[in-house]
Amino acid sequence: MHITDIILKKRSGEALTKEEIDFFIKGYVDGSIPDYQASALLMAIWFNGMNPQETTDLTLSMVASGDTVDLSGIDGIKVDKHSTGGVADTTTLVAAPLVAACGGRVAKMSGRGLGHTGGTLDKLESIPGLSIEQPMEIFQKLVNTIGLSVIGQTGNLVPADKKLYALRDVTVTVDNMSLIAGSIMSKKIASGADAIVLDVKTGSGAFMKTAEDSVELAKSMVEIGKLAGRATVALVTDMNQPLGNAVGNALEVQEAIEILRGEHPGDLKDVAFALSAWMLRLAGLADDEAAAMKMLTNALESGAALDALSRMIEAQGGDPKICEDTSKLPRAGKLISVKAERDGWISEMDNTEIGISAMLLGAGRQTKADVIDPAVGLWMKKRIGEQVAVGDELAVFHVNEEKNLDEALKRFKAAVKISGEKPDKLPLIYHVVE
């Protein structure tokens, strides 16, 4: 078997066999296939696509390139969730405790990535003392006793994806449905969950800007999950404005805690509940949406969900008192109010630019070497469709280092559009792929 034959076959629009895909992945990981030949194959895939079986074979071959996690020491059905990423997307910190409080088992391993704000791990590390580095035996014990634990990825999970993603980034082949789906699902499958709920974002703050592309990606990932023997469901949800109010690591932890206290209605809570309901259904704990929602409401109102989060924080070395007093979280030194400069309705937001504004304050990373300031970010005060007058507060910036403040404010003000007409209400959940 020769890589040149495989490149020619895919360039001609033919489907690759499992053996050919395995040969490519193994050779690229061990270095026998060089970057320039891998680049040629990636470009051929970008132009000609892959069918569902090819996409699944690619995913499973990437899974087999490294370690896989054995969660057999955890009782019951292990259920995980994954978001394709967005701004103020704090659903894990709300959904995981809710599901655990209802008897679910959420064993979640997250990786670090670049973005507007830190990932779930960075949010958790803004909690004083909390460690996301836990031995596997402790991780499994916590899930068995508390119902949840969130830690950093351990071992050598999916090295093929790490290497391929870096190459895709520099060869402009990132935005291919099969390659995106394979990258996401390889990590989820390697992490050992029995059931997976996917939150596929769409809109100005998402990787996929249109609902049609997001639904296509969701279908591809659900197909991979099912062919790989995992119960999988995907929700396509809106990311045309920040999902929650808080954009920044400690601020997002604060908002999650306040939701679990029952203090915040709104889109973040609604999406977290929708994801949690499917997690309960795939775990066999609820027969339908109505039953799941009743269980989740009871977990919230009784305080059981907040207690589950508090217990996880304490078990992983953090200060559980933040669940009673969020002022114990890191706090920025300066608060700056951003106000409306004209009357009208909030008609549109460039969500990516809002995220970049928070990153410029220090809430996210532009490079892997960047250090996140857990205290900084911004808190939204208005949402699309709300009427404002001159001087009304649009957001509050939480600031420590001011070197990029002017640019952050400029980008934010340009990102929030105010018009003379009230806009149509955006859907929150566009589609569910079962």
Identify whether 149 is a catalytic site residue.
no
Given the residues 168, 201, 269, 411, select the one marked as catalytic.
Answer: 168
Cα 26–Cα 32–Cα 35 angle in degrees, nearest 5: 95
**What's the sign of the alpha-carbon dihedral 14, 171, 198, 308?**
positive
Beta strands per DSSP E along 68-205: 79-83, 106-110, 148-152, 195-202
Identify whether 342 is a catalytic site residue.
no
CA distance 159 to 163: 6
Identify whether 187 is a catalytic site residue.
yes
Beta-carbon contacts of residue 331 (< 8 Å; ≥ 6 apart): 250, 375, 398
Tokens found for residue 385: 């469709």
Given the residues 183, 204, 220, 310, select the one marked as catalytic.
Answer: 183
- The greatest distance separating any two alpha carbons of the chain, rounded to the nearest whole angstrom, comes to 69
CA distance 434 to 431: 10
Report the first-to-last Cα separation within the chain, whole angstroms: 38
Tokens found for residue 142: 């916590």
Beta-carbon contacts of residue 47 (< 8 Å; ≥ 6 apart): 11
Identify whether 168 is a catalytic site residue.
yes
Within a 10 A sphere around the Cβ of 391, how many other Cβ atoms? 10
How many Å is the Cα radius of gyration of the chain?
Answer: 22
Given the residues 78, 81, 108, 187, select the one marked as catalytic.
Answer: 187
Q: Is 6 exposed, middle or buried (0-12, 13-18, 19+ CB in 10 A)?
A: buried
Question: 21, 19, 23: which is closest to 10 by C-alpha?
Answer: 21
Q: Is 18 exposed, middle or buried (0-12, 13-18, 19+ CB in 10 A)?
A: middle
Given the residues 161, 199, 307, 350, select the one marked as catalytic.
Answer: 161
Tokens found for residue 381: 């005060």
Identify whether 32 is a catalytic site residue.
no
Q: What distance lies between CA 45 and its chain's CA centroid?
A: 26
DSSP, res 86: -
Given the residues 78, 81, 82, 365, select the one marked as catalytic.
Answer: 82
**What's the sign of the alpha-carbon dihedral 220, 221, 222, 227?**
positive
Q: Are 213 and 219 in contact (CB under 8 A)?
A: no
Beta-carbon contacts of residue 234 (< 8 Å; ≥ 6 apart): 197, 198, 199, 200, 218, 219, 221, 222, 432, 433
Catalytic residues: 82, 161, 168, 183, 187
